Amino acid sequence: MRAEPSLTRGSTRFAFGQRLSSPADVSIYDVTGRLVRTLAAPSGTDGIEWDGRDRAGMQAASGSYIARIRIGERAATARVVIAR
């Protein structure tokens, strides 16, 4: 998985590199490990957009974030930096 762009002022797209064979969740964490948001990725998609907002709908603060997707035993991560 990779973030496109990995340095952003707002939204970014997490590209999976292939279409998902089953639905999956993409969890986004800040550098302290706090869960910021979870995005549902439907089966058949090859990526998902994150609008740079947290679970409450507020703009996430400037800083580094880690996105993680887990499908069964497999997991992948991507790093994104928000610079406002």
Judged by phi (left if over 0) then psi (alpha if -120 to 50, else beta), residue 57 lies in: left
Q: Is the pLDDT of residue 71 over 90?
A: no
User: pLDDT tens digits for 6-22?
Assistant: 999 989 999 999 999 99
- Domain 2-82 belongs in CATH node 2.60.40.4070: yes
The distance between the two most distant Cα atoms of the chain, rounded to a whole number of Å, is 36
Task: Tokens for 44, please give them.
Answer: 């058949």
Instruction: Domain ranges for the chain, please list them.
Output: 2-82
- Could you give the CA distance from residue 25 to residue 79 in angstroms, rounded to a whole number? 16
Q: How far is CA 35 from the centre of its chain?
A: 11
Q: What is the pLDDT of residue 73?
A: 86
pLDDT over 90 for what percent of the chain? 92
